[in-house]
Chains A and B, each alone.
Chain A
Amino acid sequence: MKGKYNPISLAAFLSLILYGVPAGAMHISEGILPAKWAGLWIILSVPFLFMGVRELKIRSAGSPHYKALVGLVGAAVFIISCMPIPVPIAGSCSHPCGTGIAAIIIGPWVTVVISSVALLLQALFLAHGGLSTLGADIFSMGVAGAFVGYGVFKLAKRMGVPAVIAAFLAGISSDWGTYTVTSLELSTALGTSSEWLNMFSVILISFMPTQIPLGIFEGFLAAGAYKFIHSRRPELLKPFNDKAIVGGAQ
């Protein structure tokens, strides 16, 4: 079946990227986190990376198209996560994460791996994020974004929500989940023990004018990607968790 495209959506997408400038978003810049907090987030991220690499090896051995799918999704996450989008109502720019739809397609564990690669490249060459804050960025975008998005998708499907709508919800929730965790990372590291919760609220509210509309945009992105893949190669969306390390039904 020949794929169809929506020219209005494509035009809107082009208009957004045309006005993009190199800018960051949930990436925490180099040196912002104190060493002990930077180290903590690295330690918390490592087990997910380990499991993700293991899952990648198992899936690649069991499915001929899986590596190509990971390559495609990895490239997409890299581009999406450094693609600044101006949000007119906020007057600032931010970027989607792409981890929600990635988790739906290749699984949340492998999404952590590709997010880590993307974040490392961005920290090294794009002045986007930092090496000392890599663990925190991996945990917020790779871990939180992937697992929140994936969890919402599975929950929505179990509740009988159509798959495309579930993908839409996954896109939104992965974006908002990422920035919620970013707010937590900043407030716990920068705030005092008595004021971190207040700081968390303030930072989270500061993200909202940009991330609420951008999260909705990411929801449409996720839904559109899901619908496209389902119409062209539905077998690529075949449950992968029949052989997953962590079980679960489709």
Chain B
Amino acid sequence: MIMIKKVHLMAMVLVVAVSCIAADRALGAQWAGVDETVIEKYAEEAGRSPRDPFINTDQGDLLLFVFLLAGSVGGFIGGYYFRILFHEKNNIAAANNP
């Protein structure tokens, strides 16, 4: 059982590493989002340039922080309800039906 878990872990690390390397070497692209490569491209051709957001967090590392915060909060909320739906209910059911 312990060996199987180690194999799984090694496989996970290998897939992560290969995928990252492949992404790095693929096409030499800038990895821009399609909102820049498609939406804003055609908008600017039509004379409609995007404006700055109402609250412009796209400054330095501020946006990274906000994304991290959003992910953390979203993950916490998701995890909280996941526990309620998939863990606590099972424990209650198991306690009621020994």
- Measured CB to CB, the residues of A under 8 A from B are 3, 7-8, 10-12, 14-16, 18-19, 21-34, 65, 68-69, 71-72, 74-76, 78-79, 82, 84, 86, 88-95, 121, 123-127, 130-131, 182, 186, 189-191, 199, 202-203, 206-207, 210-211, 232-233, 236
Complex formed: what's the CA distance from A31 to B67 in Å? 22
Which residues of A have CB within 8 Å of B56? 127
Which residues of B have CB within 8 Å of A86? 23, 31
B95 close to A (CB within 8 Å): no
Listed residue (B40, B53, B82, B85) with the most chain A CB atoms within 10 angstroms of its CB? B53
CB distance from B1 to the nearest CB of A (A): 14
CB distance from B87 to the nearest CB of A (A): 9
CB distance from A38 to the nearest CB of B (A): 11
Q: 9 shortest A-B CB distances, which residue pairs? A: A91-B29, A23-B33, A31-B51, A24-B35, A15-B19, A75-B78, A11-B12, A88-B26, A29-B50
Task: With A32-B43, A84-B33, A91-B30 given, name 11 new contacts (CB 8 A).
Answer: A8-B12, A11-B16, A19-B23, A23-B36, A26-B39, A30-B50, A71-B77, A72-B85, A86-B31, A125-B66, A130-B53
Partner of B71, one of A8, A34, A79, A121: A79
Does A236 lie within 8 Å of B85, measured CB to CB? yes
Does A88 lie within 8 Å of B77, measured CB to CB? no
Partner of B85, one of A65, A74, A210: A65
- Which DSSP category, helix, strand, loop or mixed, fits chain B's interface? helix
Does B27 lie within 8 Å of A186, measured CB to CB? no
CB distance from A84 to the nearest CB of B (A): 6
Can you give 5 A-B contacts (C-beta < 8 A)? A29-B35, A68-B84, A71-B77, A72-B81, A186-B39
Chain B 12-52 interface residues, beta-carbon cutoff 8 Å to A: 12-20, 22-23, 26-43, 46, 48-52
CB distance from B68 to the nearest CB of A (A): 10
Partner of B43, one of A82, A131, A186: A186
Does B31 lie within 8 Å of A92, measured CB to CB? yes
Does B85 lie within 8 Å of A68, measured CB to CB? yes
Which residues of B have CB within 8 Å of A189? 48
Does B48 lie within 8 Å of A190, measured CB to CB? yes
Which residues of A have CB within 8 Å of B22? 88
Which residues of B have CB within 8 Å of A89? 26-27
Partner of B31, one of A7, A21, A186, A199: A21
Partner of B15, one of A12, A190, A236: A12
Does B34 lie within 8 Å of A92, measured CB to CB? yes
Does B85 lie within 8 Å of A233, measured CB to CB? yes
Does B63 lie within 8 Å of A127, measured CB to CB? yes
Does A22 lie within 8 Å of B64, measured CB to CB? yes
Does A126 lie within 8 Å of B70, measured CB to CB? yes
Which residues of A have CB within 8 Å of B75? 75, 79
